[in-house]
Amino acid sequence: MRIALVGAGSMGTILGALLAKGGEDIVLVDVNQQHVKALNESGARITGHMDLTVPVRAILPDDMQGPYDLVIYLVKTTNDEKALAEILPHLNDGSVLITLQNGVPEEKVSAAIGKERTLGGAIAWGATFLGPGVSELTSESEAMTYDIGELDGSLTSRLQSIKTVLDKAGEAHITTNLIGVRWTKLMINVSMSGPGAALGCTYGMILDDPKAVVIATAIVVETLKTARALGIKMEPVQGLDPNMLMDIVKESEENAVNAMRLIYGKHRDLIASMLQDIRKGMPCEVETLNGYLSRKSAEAGVPTPVNDQITEVIRGIESGKYSPDFENLDMIEVGSLKDML
């Protein structure tokens, strides 16, 4: 199977390295010339919760030579229009592209390359790009899981084949409810990555601060209420059943906060990809994540005031009005979690 991993950034570098180590015929594709050069000359270096260097092949998008049997798509959603146009000539009728991007990208991706070629999935671990050829795994290695599925929820042989590939870089699970998985991952992103970007901090700093962790928990509640209003059944990810969180909030705010700390403890070192982009002076995925939730909640008629505030702070950071700083916590108002139910 000829595989192209397109978007070899923080996560793509690690995923591509592990698949290459597992014997897959894979090429890493990225627009960063220095990164591509370092990967070819020195291999892909993984640090953090893993210590590994793997020889890999890397190219620029213009050097792609298809057709590819499988494209693993990890490009930032802000660059979809250009990237998908570059990939399309390298796909044939039997090619498959699986998007592992943030948010709920399947509709946009399938419109560009065809629904029959598109699969989706959610990654449940994090990484930080340290420099050309080097990426830090910021989640514990046992947390490296994937939930993948067909757009229509069917069980297919190609889905099983992709699971076999991804199992070489963690553990992949097949789902028949991709939209439910996507919304659970969206909940994780908006509740933790959103505050992380707004406050310029790691997941661990959110969990350790009494107000920040309540803000994260409040956004979880807002996401759950929006999904229910839209008729979406959110799926468990890494043993986390989102629907249980609502029941815990009903019992006690303290229990809900402790549950958040337990759930996300394996990802304490994680720096949100939005914050990584902001620090590089690049557009971040706020409209794919927290902005997306604000739009969908408005459609559903569900108030999401805490998420909306986080969204506006991140937009303000992008416009130069604010800096990503923990002092931004003072701008966010959050009340009792039970009052939100």
CATH superfamily of 180-340: N-(1-d-carboxylethyl)-l-norvaline Dehydrogenase; domain 2 (1.10.1040.10)
Q: Which pLDDT score, from 0 to 100, does residue 28 have?
A: 98
Angle subtended by helix axes 290-300 and 305-319, to nearest 10 = 140
pTM of the model: 0.91
Q: What is the 3-state secondary structure (H, E, C) of the chain?
A: CEEEEECCCHHHHHHHHHHHHCCCEEEEECCCHHHHHHHHHHCEEEEECCCEEECCEEECHHHCCCCCCEEEECCCHHHHHHHHHHHHHHCCCCCEEEECCCCCCHHHHHHHHCHHHEEEEEECCCEEEEECCEEEECCCHHHCEEEEEECCCCCCHHHHHHHHHHHHHCEEEECCCHHHHHHHHHHHHHHHHHHHHHHCCEHHHHHHCHHHHHHHHHHHHHHHHHHHHCCCCCCCECCECHHHHHHHHHHCHHHHHHHHHHHHHHHCCCECHHHHHHHCCCCCCCCCCHHHHHHHHHHHCCCCHHHHHHHHHHHHHHHCCCCCCHHHHHHCCCCCCHHHC
Q: Where does the chain hold its CATH 3.40.50.720 domain(s)?
A: 2-176
Q: Where does the chain hold its CATH 1.10.1040.10 domain(s)?
A: 180-340
Q: Which pLDDT score, from 0 to 100, does residue 163 have?
A: 98
Mean pLDDT, consecutive 10-residue segments, the chain of 341 residues?
A: 97 98 98 98 98 98 95 97 97 97 95 97 95 96 95 97 98 96 94 97 97 97 96 83 86 92 90 94 96 97 98 98 97 91 80
Q: Which pLDDT score, from 0 to 100, does residue 278 have?
A: 97
Q: Which pLDDT score, from 0 to 100, does residue 236 have?
A: 83
Q: Which pLDDT score, from 0 to 100, does residue 300 have?
A: 97
* Class of the CATH domain delimited by 2-176: alpha beta
Structure tokens at 248: 């815990």
Q: Which pLDDT score, from 0 to 100, does residue 90 have?
A: 98
Q: Which pLDDT score, from 0 to 100, does residue 281 have?
A: 94
Q: Which pLDDT score, from 0 to 100, does residue 246 have?
A: 86
The answer to whether 190 and 313 have CB atoms below 8 angstroms apart is: no
Q: Which pLDDT score, from 0 to 100, does residue 238 have?
A: 67
